[in-house]
Structure 1
Amino acid sequence: MPLSKLKIFTQTCICLSVLLLLPKLGFTQSQSSESSGQFITLVNPVRVSAYTKDSAKSLASQYFEVSKRNLPASWLFTYDVLENKEVATFAKQMDQQQDLGIFLEVTPNFAENAGVTYNKTDSWHRSNSVFLIGYSQDDRKKLIDVVFERFKNNFGYYPKSVGAWWVDSFSLNYMKDKYNITSTLGCADQFYTDGYSLWGQYWSTPFYPSKNHAGMPARNTETKLDLVLLQWAARDPLNGYSGERASSYSTQDYYTRDLPDEYYEKLIKLYALKNKNQFGQITLGLEGDFPEETYREKFAQHLDMIQRISTQENITVTNMKDFSLWYRQIFPNLSPAHVIEADDLLGSKIKSVWYQSPAYRIGLTYNGENQELKIVDWRTFQDNFQEPFYLTPNTQLNLYINIPSLIDQISNPQSVWQIPVKGIFSSIGKAEKYSLFETNNPLLIFEENKITFSEVNLPPYIKNSDLLKIKDLPHSTEVSIAEHWIAPPEGMTFRSLPPQFFYLLNSYNLSKTNTQKRLALISLVLIVSLIIIYKFKVYHKKAFWVFSVIFMIGSTLFAISKLRIYSVSQAETDALLHLRALEPGKVIVYDETCLKCIWHNRYMPAVFANIRGYVSSISKKPIVHNRSIFVAESRPEGKKKLDSLVAKYIYVVKYENYSEIVPFSPGDYNVELIFENANAQIWRIKDNDKKLQ
């Protein structure tokens, strides 16, 4: 049963009484000066879910634990929670240290009140249902306006803090311009958890997002969104990157692996302390949809740890709004470079290093037992790279935000670069200039806009990358990052004939009766015309040649007038660059035309017209057009045809409601998925690896 107003008032009085007694009880917040540059940011997203028994009671219980320790926190409410009058009444009585904001999850009720059609799927947490990107830009605006007005009706002002596990850059731009938000909460990197793939951001560290891509740091002030993106569920820098359920090595889920609270404390100190950086920060908290007793147990224990650590280590506990204010004052231009260096928190001899700046992110591991140094992850950040759902709504059940990479151990283990180390491995310097040494010799030097490799041979896929600028020096190689992506935000574009032309040319249409009739009629007309021209010697007449020239010129001009512009998205070009870096081999593409497909980008995707030549031109690999393996009625039939093609890869694309799918299970075709982003998949055909060697 919901709390009555009397109960709310009573519990509020209890909370206020406890606050008055805090100085006597000794439960004061850490008095660390903000100039220490070390922060723990408390954030509690509050939603209504299957776990929720009573939203008001859950909120009261959670707030009681925060307030009795005199801690600040951000509370992000979903639209459905904001409609709960008892929750709103309680939230109004929170103390001044609390930052109230919005958690941008879409529900049927929220969509209905915004006049938007809800994307109903098999589960509320599907990405195209719950996130703003599942809706058109106009619908995103409607949803945002409705929830912001609801918030203002409740509290009398617009919030500064928002969040969701993914908030797209279009929505962030809109909220920044119209409502002047200053901070947003997002989810830390996870390769695939709960159907969400968020892969390639700063590793568990705050940054200024780009106006074009919320997962990329702004490369320059022109593309900078003047708000701070904080990351939920900071990951273990080694174990949280790769392996089964890697994302559970985090501040939120470590207990599901039966890890002790000491592990939680190690993560806090790793990120909240400055170490080699200009600041340290970690986001902690707990979702507010659990039963009230949850907050008196594990949550309360965590708050005790936070209070103790913040006092011992001179860490400021803060909320999103206040941390954003500090960050924007100290770093008024771009996000600073940031280094994460740690021995394995689980005790192995492996050290992990992450270096990240507005230009790139790179992850390395060093195994002290065999002196093995590996680059396991390398991302580049271009200022004009636009996230795939900026313009178009995400119609996929799952979310794929995969930031362009040169090396990605998870997507493609073969891309890992092993660098030999012959002496004692060590590191020197801070984030502005951070170096890895073997004995007394520099091996790698990381700076904000470049990496210097000392007497290290670059592999071909690095040396030949369009995203890098290589400069050979006498005893080293200097690598800087290209500022712009190889194609503009609208993608790679070119002109070609209208899609209807390619539809008629598709070979598989020859089996259709209507197509056969059309071709027979065209052939008959041509034959009759040639017979007439030959029999009556029309070709001797001047008028015939004049007519022919006029007809040819007119036909050419008509064809030119009908040419249309096609596009290949930036995300798809990223997939094709990955395909280029793979070993040689033929690539199977789907021989299909889609005349009725819809798109929200400026130009029609080339695949809709079944234009596939760009796959070969960008990937530098021969392609094989095929349809039968995709529509085979049985596994044996499809496998037999697949084997006959003697190809090494299958390349399929997906745009909005159009999605090419490799049929059956991967085991049936003996293929493995080696790359996927929002617009493409690359499958390796394992059967043919030996045949092609």
Structure 2
Amino acid sequence: MDAHLLAYLTDRYEIVASCNCKDQWGTDGYTLWGGYYNQAFYPSRLNSFMPAQTKAQQIPVPVFRMLGSDPIYQYDLDMLDENAIQEVVTLEPVYAGAGEGSGGRGGGGNPYWVQWFFDLNFRAPALSFGYTQVGQENSFGWPRIKDGLIDQIGLLQTWQERGELIVETLADSGTWFKAEHEVTPASAITALHYWKEEGRKSIWYCSRFYRLNLFWEDQQAYIRDFHIFDERYAERYLHEPCRTADSIYDTLPVMDGARWSNSLIKAGIWPMVRSSDGELVPLRCQEDSLEVTEVSQDELLMVAEIIEGGTLRINCSQNSVTIMADQCDWGLQMIWSDRKQEPHMIAASDEIGYEYNGYHYTVHCKKGDVGELSKGAGSIWIQPESGVIQFCLI
């Protein structure tokens, strides 16, 4: 639903809630990319996919994200191939995780995956509230969805009887959200283990200013995704019709590990340290040492123990990201491939400027020093200031 229609329905008919599909690249011809990853947000009057920063510029109806994306695998599944159709690992009961594309990773038709997914949504740190939408998008037919849906409903009934969650309609959720939140609250999805115990972890933090994904594998924690939310960035079809068979709704990338990686380079913002011979190597942490704490209603702290001693700490607040490490010669290395998906970037000592889809925006480095931009398969080195690097979004 675009900004025109959503604003009209809200202003004229006072609808209390709306919902849109999960983040996806090209599925069924529709791309929704870089949005508020789960839970709900108040959209901008210029862009129904973009959370607004101010009450004056927001459409006063919450938009809930649908389908329940796997927070570890859905984001970059099959995305190394630019021409691939992205596979699906969601709570939809038609997906049991047995298909070749999903790699047996699970989905709403797999009871073990569903139990894990409910655990991370309703028992792990979520800040404002934990949430998922249950049901099946599109008409796959009862024979294909019945086993998974019946299992999910039974599990929901058990959890509701224990007082661990509330099952309600979209309208009821929207009414509650509007009563509790005048602007978009911060939220989180915390997956510190996987149902198949593969060692990967993923934490999504969203506020009305940005979203960030901290990903963990092979004893390394790095920022896999970082998108800015700016209510002034208009959706692509606000003033012009969509004249193609597919459409794109998006936000503003700072780092897009899914779209900017290739088979040789894993794009991300990586904590690195200089070895004794001067080489940059990944900062490695103790296995299973990552802990997540809700500092306040809009602040999330992620801490891991560094193998050489000390800790790596990533603090997400509603308009800033702060990274600290107890190492003498560490920093952050932003790296990406030459897939030409990334925006034009300009690095200065205290900021990184971007131009994407004709729109200019900046990430300020309040603490730390931004090095020169390396072209091609690119990189930017960010040196900490007194052991701290801090990005500010306003």
- Give the TM-score range, shorter chain: 0.7 to 0.9
Partner of 1:216: 50
Query: 1:360 Cα shift?
Result: 0.6
**Aligned runs of 1:58-97 on 2, under 5 Å?**
none
Contact 1:183/1:324, CA 8 A, preserved across alignment: yes
Partner of 1:586: none
**Aligned runs of 1:467-482 on 2, under 5 Å?**
467-472=362-367, 473-482=385-394
Query: 1:298 Cα shift?
Result: 4.5
Query: 1:187 Cα shift?
Result: 0.2
CA distance in 2, matches of 1:458, 1:239: 24
Decide whether aligned partners of structure 1 residues 345 and 399 sit closer, same or farther in structure 2, where only a CA change above 3 A counts.
farther
Q: TM-score, normalised by structure 2?
A: 0.72
Q: Which amino acid is 1:437 matched to?
A: V
**Among 311, 318, 322, which residue is 1:452 paired with?**
322
Query: 1:442 Cα shift?
Result: 4.7
Partner of 1:257: 98
Write the deviation string for residues 523-577 of structure 1: whole angstroms up to 9, x where unpaired: xxxxxxxxxxxxxxxxxxxxxxxxxxxxxxxxxxxxxxxxxxxxxxxxxxxxxxx
Query: 1:313 Cα shift?
Result: 5.2
CA distance in 1, matches of 2:86, 2:39: 18
Contact 1:189/1:204, CA 8 A, preserved across alignment: no
Partner SS for 2:96? helix
Contact 1:207/1:228, CA 8 A, preserved across alignment: yes
**Among 269, 278, 302, which residue is 1:436 paired with?**
302
The answer to whether the aligner puts 1:385 opposite 2:233 as a matched pair is yes
Contact 1:444/1:453, CA 8 A, preserved across alignment: yes
Partner of 1:280: 130
Write the deviation string for residues 105-135 of structure 1: whole angstroms up to 9, x where unpaired: xxxxxxxxxxxxxxxxxxxxxxxxxxxxxxx
CA distance in 2, matches of 1:293, 1:302: 15
Query: 1:192 Cα shift?
Result: 2.5
Query: Which of the pair is proportionally richer in strand?
Result: 2
Contact 2:128/2:298, CA 8 A, preserved across alignment: no
- Percent identity of the aligned residues? 20
Q: Which amino acid is 1:361 matched to?
A: R
Partner of 2:24: 190
Higher gyration radius (CA): 1
The answer to whether the aligner puts 1:464 opposite 2:352 as a matched pair is yes
CA distance in 2, matches of 1:438, 1:298: 36
Write the deviation string for residues 613-647 of structure 1: whole angstroms up to 9, x where unpaired: xxxxxxxxxxxxxxxxxxxxxxxxxxxxxxxxxxx
CA distance in 1, matches of 2:321, 2:12: 39
Query: 1:256 Cα shift?
Result: 5.2
CA distance in 2, matches of 1:352, 1:294: 30
Partner of 2:270: 418
CA distance in 1, matches of 2:143, 2:299: 48
CA distance in 2, matches of 1:226, 1:341: 28
Aligned length: 313
Decide whether aligned partners of structure 1 residues 471 and 197 sit closer, same or farther in structure 2, where only a CA change above 3 A counts.
same
RMSD: 2.5
Decide whether aligned partners of structure 1 residues 295 and 474 sit closer, same or farther in structure 2, where only a CA change above 3 A counts.
closer
Write the deviation string for residues 182-208 of structure 1: whole angstroms up to 9, x where unpaired: 111210111231222111111122222
Partner of 1:351: 201
CA distance in 2, matches of 1:212, 1:324: 21
Contact 1:251/1:284, CA 8 A, preserved across alignment: yes
Query: Which of the pair is proportionally richer in helix?
Result: 1
Write the deviation string for residues 665-687 of structure 1: whole angstroms up to 9, x where unpaired: xxxxxxxxxxxxxxxxxxxxxxx
Higher RCO, 1 or 2 (CA under 8 Å, sep at least 6)? 2
Partner SS for 2:248? strand
Partner of 1:371: 219
Gaps of 5+ in 2: 79-84, 100-105, 272-281, 335-344, 354-360, 368-384
Partner of 1:269: 119
Contact 2:26/2:86, CA 8 A, preserved across alignment: no
Write the deviation string for residues 311-338 of structure 1: whole angstroms up to 9, x where unpaired: 235211100111111111111x212111
Gaps of 5+ in 1: 1-166, 483-693
Query: 1:213 Cα shift?
Result: 1.4
Decide whether aligned partners of structure 1 residues 174 and 345 sit closer, same or farther in structure 2, where only a CA change above 3 A counts.
same
Partner SS for 2:51? coil
**Aligned runs of 1:56-135 on 2, under 5 Å?**
none
**Aligned runs of 1:466-615 on 2, under 5 Å?**
466-472=361-367, 473-482=385-394
CA distance in 2, matches of 1:320, 1:222: 24
CA distance in 1, matches of 2:146, 2:203: 37
